[in-house]
Every structure is written in C-alpha cells, then in structure tokens.
C-alpha cells in the first residue's frame, strides 16, 4: 500500500521531503528593495469564505525538525500573520517573538541565493515598516492566525525554485529526524530510517487530531529488539514524504466521507470521470439513457471484446481511513483488476434492484449512503466499522452482513406502522440483496425485483397475504385510522400462524361490503396465496423469515397498485 502511494506521488509530481501544499489568505506586497507597499487578499476573493490561494511547493518542517535543538522555530516563506508581522494580541508573547526572529533569520540566510529575501528580512527588522505592515493587516481585516506570504511585483518568492536546494541543505542541519541505516520497507533500498513520520492532513472530521501519523511508535511497548521509534517499521525520509503527499492529495481531492470514515480511491492508470466506477457508488449516473447497472455492464462488455484496451490492464485501489487521536486508522484496503471492479459494481446495483413503489417500473439505482442510511434513524448513528464493511461488500461482491438485514428490518417495522411514511426503495433493495447474495445453496435465486408467485417460502407469501388483507380492508372501509397493518403487522410477521388465519376469517366481513366482482377478485387472490403457502402458516419466523415476510408484503402491495 505504501509503495503504491509513493508511486502515485511520483506520477502526480507531488512534493517530497520538506515541501507541502499550503493555502495562504494574504500577500505582503514589497518592492525588490524590500520596501513594504501593501497587503492584498489572494485566492477567490469573491467567495464569502475565501480560504485563499494554494501554493503546491511550500517549505515545511516536520514536528521533529521543529522541536530539534529546543529552539522556538517558524516555517519559511509562509507562516501566520502573528509570527511574520508580530500582529495581534499574542505578539508580545516571548515565544511568538522568538518565532518571528527565527522567521527573519531564515529569510536573511536564504538571501545568499535570493537577494530579495534578504531585503524583506531587513524590512521585517525595521520597526517603522512593521508598524505599517500591522496597520495594513488590520485595515484589510486579517486575523493573526491566517497565513501570509510575500509578493514582489507579480511574482511570489514561494513559487520560485531558487531557494529549494538551499532549503534542503538547511534541513540537513536539523538533527533528530533520522535513525540508523537500514532497508526501507517501501523502496527496498538502504537508507536512514525516519524516526518520526510526517502528519496526515484532512482527517479531523473523522476522529483525527491536528496531525495524526500513519506510522508511529511513541510507546516503549510498541518497539522491539532495541529499535527506536519508527525504526521498528523502517521507511526512508523520501518514501515517507511521498506517501504523505499522496494521502494528503487523495484526501483533499479524491475522498468521500462515509459516516465516521473517509474513503479514497485511485487507479494505476488514469481513468476519465465518466468511467470512474467507484464514484458511481457515491453518485449513480443519471438514468435518462441507462442506469448505473446497465452502464457498468456495457463498460465490462467493451473491455472484454477489446473496445476499451486502456482499461483492460488497469487496476483500482481503495483505502478506508479514520483518525484516532494522533493515529491514522486504516480500516480497509482493497485492490484488484478494473475489469473485476466493473463486474462487482454491476452486481451491486443489480442485486439492489427492486420494483418501484408505484408498480410501473423499477426504482432508480440508490446512492451508497442511501443504502446505509436505510438501516438507521440518522446517518450520524452509522458506526464506522459497519460503513467500512459495507463498502467492501459493494466493491468485492461479498454477502450482505446479517446485521445489515436486522437493521433494515427494524427500520421497516418502525416505518410501516406510520401511515404517513412511504416505502424506502434503498431499504427494500438491501433486504432483497441479502438473499440474492447469500453463498452457495443458500442463495435465493427466486427473489426477483417484483412479486414472485413461484417463490418457495411460506413466510414470503404470508407477507403477501398481509398486504392483500390490508388492501381489502381499505377497499371495504376506506380510511379507518389504525388499520389491520398498524394493529397486527408486528405480531403477524413474527408468528403468522397465530394471527393470519384469524385475519383471513375476519376478511370475509369485508368481502361482503364489496360489489360481487371485486369481492370475487380478492377471494381469488387470497386463495392463490393460500396455495402458495401450503398446509399451514409458519409458526414463528427468524430475522430472515421476517425479512422475507416484509419483502412479500412490499412486493404484493406494489403488485396490487395497477
């Protein structure tokens, strides 16, 4: 996994050690002589909440480098307005002043390769210039914790390549980041092991702290054989920064939050947006021309007959992440041929297909989160391990967990007694998928999208009987408030033999209220269901049996609509 992330970083020319993308809100405009001119907001200034402009290759010190030598350090070229200009209430703090002095010192030292930086350092050392700078920051409404950088004419020094070699040489003078020489687990080459790995960004909303690490050994109990910190899983500095850059890029640009986790995915070779199968799980294509299931099958057929050779040898990679304080939690890792993925995505949508509640078509392909949301009252109730498991189910074609069926059934029961609630297509599709995805002989090949009169399960047809009885009462009496469903569904779905026989006998009174033709039609349908059930209604039903009852109820109800 780490090797593939490193490859991704190299393919996309992402920053290596000592470099990192940073978003800056304010530009301090100066002349080449260093004379201060103004403070300008950069980025999308028309946005109400302008975050600023992102510079891809900003100098950056790791936590170990920042702590080396016990000196209060700052970053180079980009830092907060408080540090750069001693701006805000914290400017009087001794620590802030020490960071400011360090920032100016870095500019002065870098002046050997970029003379304009030495001129800017002189400006920041001049109290009159600093006073003007702070007044300008206040005038434009800058906050002390917002990042600033410098601008000379139309150029930003941070975008120049002139300081890069100097910066890497300077970083080499900071001790405390490298361990003994060993074999890097990512590259297979001899290199000093990085003791403290760089932090991963973008996981604060899924449990991560300010800077969680993917590889870390901060407790003695985690080590062995006298190895220190990350020597226990040796990775070179360049490889560590490559995988960090790749993860940060994927989380920022190609991730989707799923409950308490984030899923990132990418491909070995470039895939156009319209062929990105994993994005279809999150947002199925529009159904004007064809649904996601049909499009996945068409793409699969095109690969197999040689019409899409660029996709035939491609591979997918999917990573599920969350945070736990200072650590990155890898909840799942999947990879495989693109062709296999196309088949799994087609199966996922095929298995979830269910007849629409209106009865005249199949329901549209559901979003992945709609399927998961069908199992809980609120999306915030989804536990991250369950989300990660269901993502694997969809991508790898695994059976639906029984826990998912039980959750969906509980929500179905809660909704069905509420007369104002409509049937949830994603929930019914998930319940159907449980049965059609079961392994081996348990796979239910008779569970079709609509009602199947030839289905062998008495529980299924018992649910169908309940639907006919509910429709019969409605036809005979109209709206009676708490009807047969609200009063008896829970008991009938758990113990059909105790309830359904009595309800069928009571239905004879409703038949007497209908005109003879309609009464005969209902009698005929109830008789057909009785034949399908067999000699007796089931005594008790398990979770699977109650789910078959629910599917039979829904599909029969829909079958009665036309």
114, 244: one domain: no
- The answer as to whether 424 is a domain residue is yes
Contact 537, 497 (CB under 8 A): yes
Q: Are 46 and 75 part of one and the same domain? A: yes
Q: How far apart are CA 451 and CA 466, in angstroms?
A: 14
379 and 515, same domain (yes or no)? no
Does residue 232 share a domain with residue 194? yes
The residue among 442, 471, 490 that closes a domain is 442
Q: 505: domain range?
A: 458-560
Q: What is the pLDDT of residues 118-168, one digit of tens each?
A: 999 999 999 999 999 999 999 999 999 999 999 999 899 999 999 999 999
b vs e for 106-142, b when ≥16 Cβ sit within 10 Å of the residue's Cβ? bbbebbebbebbbbbbbbbbeeebbebbbebbeeeeb
Report whether pLDDT(224) > 90.
no
**What per-residue string of b and e applies to 374-408 under the rule 16 or more CB within 10 Å gives b?**
bbbeeeeebebebbbbbbbbbbebebbeeebbbbb
Share of the chain above pLDDT 90, in %: 60
* Predicted pLDDT of residue 298: 85
Decide which of 360 and 268 is more confident: 268
pLDDT at 481: 66
Number of structural domains found in the chain: 4
Residue 272 within a domain: no
Average pLDDT over residues 389-395: 92
pLDDT for res 286:
63
* Residues 162 and 189 placed together within one structural domain of the fold: no
Predicted pLDDT of residue 175: 61
- Do 163 and 77 share a domain, yes or no? yes
Q: Is residue 271 part of a domain?
A: no
Tell me what the mean pLDDT of segment 297-319 comes to. 89
Answer whether residue 267 is part of any domain. Answer: no
Ramachandran area for residue 540 (φ above 0: left; ψ -120 to 50: alpha; else beta): beta
Residues 433 and 494 in one domain: no
Q: Is residue 132 part of a domain?
A: yes
- pLDDT of residue 453 exceeding 80, the answer is yes
Tell me the average pLDDT across 433-460.
91
pTM, 2 dp: 0.78
- Same domain for 499 and 437: no
The rounded distance, in Å, linking the Cα atoms of 259 and 247 is 19
Is the same domain home to 407 and 539?
Answer: no
pLDDT at 271: 87
Tell which of 155, 171, 187 closes a domain. Answer: 171
Give the largest Cα separation in the chain, rounded: 102
In a domain, 322, yes or no: no
- Per-residue pLDDT at 156: 97
pLDDT of residue 176: 55
What pLDDT does residue 119 have? Answer: 96
Q: Is residue 79 a part of any domain in this protein?
A: yes
Residue 537, domain member (yes or no): yes
Write down which residue in 442, 470, 505 finishes a domain.
442
Do 182 and 228 fall into the same domain? yes
Q: Which residue's structure tokens are 């009785």?
A: 530
Same domain, yes or no: 71 and 150:
yes
Q: Is the pLDDT of residue 527 over 70?
A: yes
Mean per-residue pLDDT for 464-488?
A: 86
Q: Residue 289's pLDDT is what?
A: 47
């Amino acid at each position: 996994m780490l090797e593939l992330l490193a490859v991704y970083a190299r393919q996309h020319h992402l920053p290596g050690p000592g470099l990192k993308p940073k978003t800056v809100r304010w530009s301090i405009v100066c002349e080449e002589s260093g004379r201060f001119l103004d403070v300008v907001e950069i980025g999308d200034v028309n946005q109400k909440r302008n975050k600023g402009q992102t510079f891809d290759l900003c100098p950056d010190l790791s936590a170990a480098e920042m702590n080396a030598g016990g000196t209060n350090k700052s970053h180079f070229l980009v830092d907060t307005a408080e540090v750069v200009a001693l701006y805000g209430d914290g400017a009087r703090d001794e620590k802030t002043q020490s960071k400011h002095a360090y920032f100016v010192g870095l500019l002065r030292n870098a002046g050997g390769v970029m003379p304009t930086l030495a001129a800017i350092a002189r400006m920041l050392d001049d109290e009159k210039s600093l006073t003007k700078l702070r007044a300008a920051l206040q005038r434009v409404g800058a906050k002390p914790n917002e990042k600033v950088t410098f601008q000379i004419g139309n150029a930003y020094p941070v975008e120049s390549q002139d300081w890069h070699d100097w910066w890497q040489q300077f970083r080499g003078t900071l001790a405390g980041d490298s361990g003994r020489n060993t074999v890097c687990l990512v590259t297979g080459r001899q290199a000093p092991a990085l003791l403290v790995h760089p932090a991963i960004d973008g996981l604060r909303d899924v449990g991560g702290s300010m800077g969680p690490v993917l590889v870390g050994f901060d407790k003695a109990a985690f080590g062995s054989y006298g190895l220190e910190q990350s020597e226990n899983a040796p990775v070179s500095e360049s490889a560590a920064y490559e995988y960090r850059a790749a993860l940060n890029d994927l989380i920022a640009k190609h991730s989707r939050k799923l409950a308490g986790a984030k899923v990132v995915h990418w491909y070995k070779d470039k895939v156009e947006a319209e062929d990105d199968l994993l994005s279809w799980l999150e947002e199925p294509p529009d159904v004007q021309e064809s649904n996601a299931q049909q499009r996945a099958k068409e793409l699969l057929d095109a690969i197999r007959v040689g019409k899409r050779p660029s996709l035939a040898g491609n591979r997918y990679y999917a990573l599920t992440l969350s945070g736990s304080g200072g650590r990155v939690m890898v909840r799942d890792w999947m990879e495989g041929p693109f062709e296999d993925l196309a088949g799994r995505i087609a199966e996922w949508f095929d298995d979830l297909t269910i007849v629409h509640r209106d009865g005249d078509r199949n329901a549209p392909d559901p979003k992945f989160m709609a399927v998961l949301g069908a199992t809980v009252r609120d999306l915030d109730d989804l536990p991250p391990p369950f989300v990660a498991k269901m993502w694997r189910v969809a991508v790898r074609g695994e059976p639906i967990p029984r826990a998912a069926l039980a959750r969906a059934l509980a929500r179905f029961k809660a909704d069905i007694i509420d007369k104002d609630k409509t049937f949830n297509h994603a929930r019914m599709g998930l319940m159907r998928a449980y049965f059609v995805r079961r392994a081996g002989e348990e796979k239910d090949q008779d569970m079709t999208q609509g009602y199947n009169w030839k289905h062998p399960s008495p529980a299924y047809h018992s649910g169908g009987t309940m639907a006919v009885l509910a429709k019969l009462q409605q036809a005979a009496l109209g709206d009676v408030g708490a009807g047969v469903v609200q009063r008896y569904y829970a008991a009938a779905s758990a113990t059909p033999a105790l309830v359904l026989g009595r309800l069928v006998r009571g239905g004879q009174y409703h038949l007497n209220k209908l005109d003879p033709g309609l009464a005969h039609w209902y009698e005929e349908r109830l008789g057909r269901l009785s034949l399908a059930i067999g000699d007796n209604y089931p005594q008790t039903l398990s979770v699977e049996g109650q789910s078959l009852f629910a599917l039979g109820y829904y599909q029969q109800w829909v079958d009665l609509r036309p």
